[in-house]
């Protein structure tokens, strides 16, 4: 046992720590990140420098770090440089993970990290569900955490098993947890060492949790990525048609039953989706029409500076000038992000930064096709779709998740591939 642990690289231990604590604690994750960066600096030598400039690594490394370099460049025309430097801290994983992963031997062992992440998410789902079931059956309805704002909240015992209340043990946004659950689900599907019967059980657990989390963009990302993967990998998936059919039946049945019995879920998936119109009264706002208003502002602001944007740190000021025209400004906050990563980067660095970001996503998907890695392509699809409804790179839980796994996939060697 001692010899086994002595052979584990310190970098692998630190990366595993990042995966374990990413969904639960930003502070602890940052400690592991700092230690990983310090380890990289202390062990930097000619061998690592040769790896960074090798032909195999050079292209994906440059494509990966270009968005971060342009974000730094945009500080030169930012109207709020101090805020911009503070924002750079959030974007640092865009630089750190590609450089670190391109030099580590860890890139030969991606499957270990994928399995570790799936186990962490499954454990979180069990803990959250157990806590929610206790509240559902034993906590008085008046003492339960209500999902949504005070204007549109549904008063029901089902709050305990829905959305933010379900995530209460870890205080994580349902959108991020939804993204993690979807990725863990596909890891389970593509894991060849799990028996089909157990695979169906695990996938069913993750699907039901996903539906209870009731993240609209998260459910859409799961369904669209699932349908796309079935089409793209139809030849490889021929042997998996039976479990896929069972999963599909479980998903549809669970969704219908939960919407029918859970008024909170019905409100979020049916009621809110029918209200796109911009209301005059503050009580008429919900997660859908607020996004409609925010996206309208984003498009207007992008048209005013389409090429280079407004610079890192300037968005708060320019967005608030537009948000003041809507009644949600104040009661729902005064510094909302774009709730769309493409709009956020479009406003930060204009078309220049947006093209670099889209180029990174496109290259990652193409790399998955070249390596015949369905899981890598599914990861990119999940991220692309979720970015349509949330600014994932603007937060720690989003940027670390993307940079960790995107770098793990891009810089792994051929011997470390994970295929269906």
Consecutive H or E run containing 123: helix 110-138
Q: Can you tell me the distance from the alpha carbon of 259 to that of 256, in angstroms, rounded to the nearest whole number? A: 5
- Residues 168, 269: one domain? yes
Domains in the chain, number = 3
Kindly report the pTM of this predicted structure.
0.93
Consecutive H or E run containing 379: helix 374-386
The pLDDT tens digits for 64-123 are 999 999 999 999 999 999 999 999 999 999 999 999 999 886 555 788 899 999 999 999
- Residues 266, 393: one domain? no
Distance of alpha carbon 213 from the chain centroid: 14
- Residues 258, 353: one domain? no
Q: Can you tell me the distance from the alpha carbon of 51 to that of 112, in angstroms, rounded to the nearest whole number? A: 23
Domain presence at residue 66: yes
Q: Which domain holds residue 358?
A: 60-108+284-420
- Residues 323, 260: one domain? no
Q: Which parts of the chain have pLDDT scores under 50?
A: 1-5, 414-418, 420
Owner of token pair 């030169």: 76
Q: Can you tell me the distance from the alpha carbon of 351 to that of 66, in angstroms, rounded to the nearest whole number? A: 14
- Residues 147, 161: one domain? yes
Q: Phi and psi dihedrals of 252, rounded to 5?
A: -65, -45
What is the pLDDT at residue 1?
Answer: 45
What is the pLDDT at residue 56?
Answer: 85
- Residues 327, 347: one domain? yes
Domain presence at residue 279: no
Query: Counting Cβ atoms within 10 Å, is residue 234 exposed (0-12), middle (13-18) or buried (19+)?
Result: exposed
Domain presence at residue 74: yes
Q: Can you tell me the distance from the alpha carbon of 196 to that of 363, in angstroms, rounded to the nearest whole number? A: 33
Where does a domain end: 274, 302, 328?
Answer: 274
Q: Can you tell me the distance from the alpha carbon of 40 to that of 14, in angstroms, rounded to the nearest whole number? A: 11
Domain presence at residue 40: yes
| Concatenated DSSP letters of 146-169 | PSS-TTT---SGGGGGSHHHHTTT
- Residues 31, 138: one domain? no
Q: Can you tell me the distance from the alpha carbon of 50 to that of 61, in angstroms, rounded to the nearest whole number? A: 13
What is the pLDDT at residue 5?
Answer: 47
Where does a domain end: 212, 241, 274?
Answer: 274
- Residues 216, 295: one domain? no
Domain presence at residue 124: yes
- Residues 368, 322: one domain? yes
Where does a domain end: 274, 309, 337?
Answer: 274
Please give the DSSP secondary-structure letter assigned to residue 392: G
What is the pLDDT at residue 367?
Answer: 95
Q: Phi and psi dihedrals of 54, rounded to 5?
A: -70, 155
232 three-state secondary structure = helix
What is the pLDDT at residue 354?
Answer: 97
What is the pLDDT at residue 75?
Answer: 95
Domain presence at residue 412: yes
Nearest to 150, CA basis, from 291, 345, 332:
332
Q: Can you tell me the distance from the alpha carbon of 278 to that of 326, in angstroms, rounded to the nearest whole number? A: 9
Consecutive H or E run containing 42: helix 26-42
Burial 104-129 (b: 16+ CB within 10 A, else e): bebbebbbebbbebbebbbebbeebb
Domain presence at residue 252: yes
What is the pLDDT at residue 332?
Answer: 83
- Residues 116, 265: one domain? yes
Both tokens of 386, joined, read: 């979720």
Please give the DSSP secondary-structure letter assigned to residue 269: I
- Residues 263, 120: one domain? yes
Domain presence at residue 54: no
Positive or negative: CA dihedral 66, 72, 73, 74 = positive
Please enumerate in sequence order all residues whose Cβ is within 8 A of that of 243, keeping only pairs 6 or more positions apart, or say none: 189, 196, 199, 200, 203
Q: Can you tell me the distance from the alpha carbon of 215 to that of 147, in angstroms, rounded to the nearest whole number? A: 12
Q: Phi and psi dihedrals of 333, rounded to 5?
A: 110, 160
> How far apart, in Å, are the Cα atoms of 301 and each of 314, 320, 342, 365?
12, 11, 13, 30
Both tokens of 203, joined, read: 């996938």
The pLDDT tens digits for 4-16 are 445 678 888 999 9
Q: Can you tell me the distance from the alpha carbon of 375 to that of 417, in angstroms, rounded to the nearest whole number? A: 10
Q: Phi and psi dihedrals of 235, rounded to 5?
A: -70, -45
What is the pLDDT at residue 276?
Answer: 75
- Residues 332, 390: one domain? yes
């Amino acid at each position: 046992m001692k010899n086994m642990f002595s052979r584990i690289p310190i970098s692998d231990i630190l990366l595993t720590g990042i995966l374990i604590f990413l969904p639960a604690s930003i502070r602890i994750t940052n400690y592991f990140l700092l230690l990983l960066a310090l380890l990289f600096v202390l062990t930097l030598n000619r061998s690592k420098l040769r790896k960074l400039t090798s032909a195999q690594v050079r292209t994906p490394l440059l494509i990966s770090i270009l968005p971060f370099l342009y974000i730094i460049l945009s500080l030169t025309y930012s109207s709020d440089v101090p805020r911009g430097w503070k924002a750079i801290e959030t974007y640092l994983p865009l630089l750190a993970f590609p450089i670190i992963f391109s030099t580590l031997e860890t890139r030969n062992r991606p499957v270990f990290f994928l399995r570790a992440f799936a186990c962490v998410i499954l454990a979180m789902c069990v803990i959250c569900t157990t806590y929610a079931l206790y509240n559902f059956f034993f906590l008085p309805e008046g003492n339960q955490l209500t999902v949504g704002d005070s204007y549109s909240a549904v008063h029901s015992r089902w709050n305990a098993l829905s959305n933010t209340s379900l995530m209460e043990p870890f205080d994580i946004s349902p959108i991020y947890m939804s993204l993690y659950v979807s990725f863990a689900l596909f890891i389970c599907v593509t894991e060849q060492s799990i028996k089909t019967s157990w695979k169906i059980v695990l996938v069913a657990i993750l699907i039901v949790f996903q539906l209870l989390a009731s993240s609209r963009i998260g459910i859409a990302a799961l369904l669209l990525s699932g349908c796309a993967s079935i089409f793209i990998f139809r030849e490889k998936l021929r042997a998996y048609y039976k479990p896929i059919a069972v999963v599909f039946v479980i998903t549809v049945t669970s969704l219908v039953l939960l919407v029918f019995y859970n008024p909170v879920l019905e409100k979020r998936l049916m009621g809110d989706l029918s209200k796109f119109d911009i209301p005059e009264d503050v009580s008429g706002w919900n997660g859908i029409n607020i996004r409609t208003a925010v996206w309208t502002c984003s498009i207007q602001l992008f048209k005013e500076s389409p090429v280079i944007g407004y610079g890192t740190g300037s968005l708060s000021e320019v967005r608030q000038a537009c948000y003041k025209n809507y009644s949600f400004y104040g009661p729902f906050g005064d510094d909302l992000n774009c709730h769309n990563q493409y709009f956020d980067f479009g406003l930060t660095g204009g078309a220049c930064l947006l093209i670099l970001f889209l180029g990174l996503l496109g290259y990652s998907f193409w790399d998955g096709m070249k390596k015949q890695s369905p899981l890598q392509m599914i990861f990119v699809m999940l991220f692309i779709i979720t970015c349509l409804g949330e600014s994932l790179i603007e937060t720690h839980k989003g940027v670390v998740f993307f940079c960790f796994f995107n770098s793990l996939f891009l810089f792994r060697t051929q011997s470390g591939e994970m295929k269906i």
